Structure 1
Amino acid sequence: MDIPSIETASQQEIKAYQELRLKEALHYAATNSPYYKRLFSNENIAIDTITTLEDLQQLPVTTKEHLQEYNDDFLCVPKSQIIDYTTTSGTSGRPVTFGLTDKDLDRLAYNEAISFICSGVKEGDVVQLMTTMDRRFMAGLAYFLGLRKIKAGVIRVGAGVPELQWDSILKYNPSYLITVPSFLLKLIEYAEANNIDYNASSIKGAICIGEPLRNQDFSNNTLSQKITDKWDIKLFSTYASTEMSTAFAECEYSCGGHHHPELIIAEVLDENDKPVANGNIGELVVTTLGIEGMPLIRFKTGDIVQLHHEPCQCGRNTMRVGPVVGRKQQMIKYKGTTLYPPAMIDLLRSFPEIQNHIIQISTNDLGTDEILIKAAAINPTEELLVQIKDHFRAKLRVTPKIVFVSAEELNSIMFTPMSRKPVNFIDKRV
């Protein structure tokens, strides 16, 4: 597979193409989706008047709460046509079920195939899949389907267990890993403890999910730097969600996740659901294209991002999504400063003594946000505590409350049987 021609077209051609696909998506939803049929009728919306991307602003947004409350009403096909049942992770509320048809699974495979190609994976490569394919998780299945489509080999190891991961790497010689990037540090740690020369291994790159690798200027963040300082491999950042059934993947130039215009329309809106000025940050809002089972129109992802529109050196002219600044609902107002957890997480990772941490937000008696960071450290001294607080003050202009706890206490909170992801942010605000 090559780069899809629409991704190297001019931005004017991309816009015109998306406007044609938008009309198809609106007519499909108005005809087949009980939720959107009811919404358009109640709001007296004539979808034939929505002909440009700018006209999207005439339509109401769809929120995660709408999906949670009216989940079944978003389904556009009889349940007999659903091939795969997937749910969102539920880390930010009640999980939502998505039904995928046979055609939707083909679309998912196409999305992942072109995303992997964007990050340099090609036919004949062997890729080690280090994420789960079970527990109604879309991503693991999507990766497998995409790799199969480009005729790459797949080693389905699943998450965790460094010993098993290294056994597979040394036995099958994969070129790429698909993993949560912080787990790469555990692979390095295991290799060093067991005399494995990881820089002499077959691995040349890792497709990273679930955690950011870049700062807003696309320089490596602390996590990315820690990995590449030791392991000479190329890291590729990705951004995706179950609701979108679409990924934004980095190319070799590491300057944001490339948009696939044949699969999704992307907007960035301010707090009043109005488009932000070009280059400003705001909430990513998406309209899916070509989905049969549960298409979404103007879905608010909850992720605060910046879009980049200048052409990329890789030849694609599609816009790119920058690193996620944070989740909108996780925004913290602390002593006059606006904070998001990723900035605090990156700062905490700059201390090698800190093994793990949880950020807990609550409301104090004055009705303002309070931050409590629970950290497990190798050697939890008062001197280390002072260093961390000084670093917070210098980098983020605030000093949250920080307490040291045992690794066992932290692990019991972070790793719960029902959660697919480690819990490192707890919001107790009322």
Structure 2
Amino acid sequence: MKPIQTQIPSATWKLLQQQLKYVEENSAFYQEKFQQLGVSANNLKAEDLTQLAITTKDDLASRNEDFICVPKREIIDYVTTSGTLGAPVTFALNEADLQRLAANEEKSFQLAGVTPDDVVQITTTLDRRFIAGMAYFLGLRKLGAGLVRVGSGVPELQWDSINRFQPTYLVAVPSFLIKLGNYAKANGIDCKNTSIKAAICIGESLRDENFQLNALGKKVEELWGIELYSTYASTEMSTAFTECEAHEGNHILEDLIYTEIVDARGNLVNDGEVGELVVTTLGIETMPLIRYATGDLVKKIIEPCKCGREGARLSSVLGRKKQLIKYKGTSIYPPQITEALADWPGIDLHLVKVSISQVGTDHLEVILPDSFQQEKLAALKAHLRAKLRVLPEISFWKTKKLQQTIFNPNHRKPIRFLDERMKTDEV
């Protein structure tokens, strides 16, 4: 079968050419790659882009400093990736990159309806080498909105800030919104009667591939009764994909990033088909990436959005390439298990663990709190078997241990998946 070729708009190709020429002149890593392929940025045509080798997370980890394109004295900020698919990787930004990051987040907040009249409460940390909290802060400053920097955790302080400053938006991980909602219930607070009108949700998928709220999203909506905006971003991309008011996919900021969706062999898939997201960052000076494989499985939506904005969109992350589980002849991704558990009433804490069995196959385990009502176990097993087509082993941990594992203060996102097939846990 002849590989699919994507038509690159002339304005986008101009930006791509600028970035390709820049890395050829300044990046030791890409200079070497171009020489190995016998290509030059000056001679590349749009249809030749797919000839360039895909850059991997392993490349970024093993050749980290070879990606740096500016003198070290220009670097202002160092961050590290979250370690979702392995050990954290260092990333650096100069002043131009920080300005670009602010512009990206300003556009993202505008997509979610934030204006200078709004006050936004940020429930993510600005420290611990975390890019997201800093990005939100810079974007809101550029937009001119008010902001409340509460940081992560501490439900009591979050609610004190909501009551004290009357924010209109929250930036939060969906599972933390559930934690905040449960705290409110226990303390006589009405989540549906506050100044909050919407939440910009990060770190966890909120919708399915048909744009409907998944089980996690439905739980948040039921608790809070507010509008929910889905987002998708990563440190390496320095770019966010955010929903608009139509809630039909995350808009691609095409002046900041070029996206491709590829299959397991690295070939482009048809629009609307699920594949791995590969990105080329545009306008990055310190550590630009060319055809970087994110490991995230998504699909591209090219049909016009109801909001009237032009350009394509991405679905929520439907799975992670390295997290595929093959269990009893069935292929499963952790989000499918999380969705099935979130769809069962009363399960707010759970952990999915995969390891290697004695015979060398994947062993799948679902860990629940020991407070789970045992008389409902048979019904839960039937529910999981119906949703997943196979039944994982179910075990129980003390609630406190499970809470501490999922909401580990040393990690930036809730840990829902432990992959013991790897040398490092994937979270």
| Structure 1 residues 35-184: aligned runs within 5 Å | 35-52=29-46, 54-184=47-177
Alpha-carbon separation, structure 2, partners of 1:340 and 1:56: 30
| Structure 1 residues 14-413: aligned runs within 5 Å | 15-52=9-46, 54-381=47-374, 383-413=375-405
Q: Is the 8 A contact 1:355 1:377 kept in 2?
A: no
Alpha-carbon separation, structure 1, partners of 2:195 and 2:404: 35
Q: Secondary structure at the match of 2:349?
A: strand
CA deviation after TM superposition for structure 1 residue 384, in Å: 2.2
CA deviation after TM superposition for structure 1 residue 162, in Å: 1.1
Q: Is the 8 A contact 1:355 1:376 kept in 2?
A: no
Q: Is the 8 A contact 2:371 2:399 kept in 1?
A: no
Following superposition, which runs of at least 4 residues in structure 1 exceed 6 angstroms of deviation? none
CA deviation after TM superposition for structure 1 residue 249, in Å: 0.1
Q: Is the 8 A contact 1:380 1:404 kept in 2?
A: no
More moved, 317-326 vs 25-34: 317-326
CA deviation after TM superposition for structure 1 residue 418, in Å: 2.9
Partner of 2:415: 423
More moved, 171-180 vs 416-425: 416-425
Q: Secondary structure at the match of 1:128?
A: strand
Q: Secondary structure at the match of 2:299?
A: strand
CA deviation after TM superposition for structure 1 residue 197, in Å: 2.5
Q: Is the 8 A contact 1:269 1:283 kept in 2?
A: yes
Alpha-carbon separation, structure 2, partners of 1:32 and 1:241: 23
Q: Is the 8 A contact 1:356 1:377 kept in 2?
A: no
Alpha-carbon separation, structure 2, partners of 1:170 and 1:409: 31
Q: Which amino acid aligns with 1:43?
A: L
Question: Cα–Cα, structure 1 residues 197 and 417, in superposed 2: closer, same or farther, change >3 Å?
Answer: closer
CA deviation after TM superposition for structure 1 residue 41, in Å: 1.1
CA deviation after TM superposition for structure 1 residue 393, in Å: 1.3
Q: Which amino acid aligns with 2:84?
A: T
Alpha-carbon separation, structure 2, partners of 1:22 and 1:255: 27
**Cα RMSD (Å):** 1.6
Q: Which amino acid aligns with 1:171?
A: R
Alpha-carbon separation, structure 2, partners of 1:19 and 1:146: 27
Q: Secondary structure at the match of 2:42?
A: helix
Q: Is the 8 A contact 1:302 1:327 kept in 2?
A: yes
Q: Which amino acid aligns with 1:24?
A: Q
CA deviation after TM superposition for structure 1 residue 282, in Å: 0.5
TM-score by length of 2: 0.94
More moved, 354-363 vs 258-267: 354-363
CA deviation after TM superposition for structure 1 residue 412, in Å: 4.2
Alpha-carbon separation, structure 1, partners of 2:127 and 2:85: 20
TM-score by length of 1: 0.94
Alpha-carbon separation, structure 1, partners of 2:405 and 2:158: 25
Question: Cα–Cα, structure 1 residues 313 and 377, in superposed 2: closer, same or farther, change >3 Å?
Answer: farther
Q: Which amino acid aligns with 1:29?
A: V
Q: Which amino acid aligns with 1:175?
A: T
Q: Is the 8 A contact 2:174 2:201 kept in 1?
A: yes
Q: Is the 8 A contact 1:133 1:140 kept in 2?
A: yes
Q: Is the 8 A contact 1:309 1:318 kept in 2?
A: yes
Q: Secondary structure at the match of 1:391?
A: helix
CA deviation after TM superposition for structure 1 residue 417, in Å: 4.4
Q: Give me the identity figure in percent.
A: 51
Question: Cα–Cα, structure 1 residues 128 and 429, in superposed 2: closer, same or farther, change >3 Å?
Answer: same
Q: Which amino acid aligns with 1:97?
A: T
Partner of 1:4: none
Q: Secondary structure at the match of 1:91?
A: coil
Q: Secondary structure at the match of 1:169?
A: helix
Q: Which amino acid aligns with 1:318?
A: G
More moved, 63-72 vs 390-399: 390-399
CA deviation after TM superposition for structure 1 residue 313, in Å: 1.2
Residues 222-274 of structure 1, C-alpha deviations (whole Å, 9 max, x = no match): 11111212322000000000000000000011111000010000000000000
Residues 23-42 of structure 1, C-alpha deviations (whole Å, 9 max, x = no match): 00000000000110111112
Partner of 2:3: none
Can you give the 5+ residue segments of structure 2 that lack an aligned partner in the other structure? Answer: 1-5, 423-427
Q: Secondary structure at the match of 1:183?
A: helix
Would you say how many aligned residue pairs link Structure 1 and Structure 2? 417
Alpha-carbon separation, structure 1, partners of 2:110 and 2:409: 34
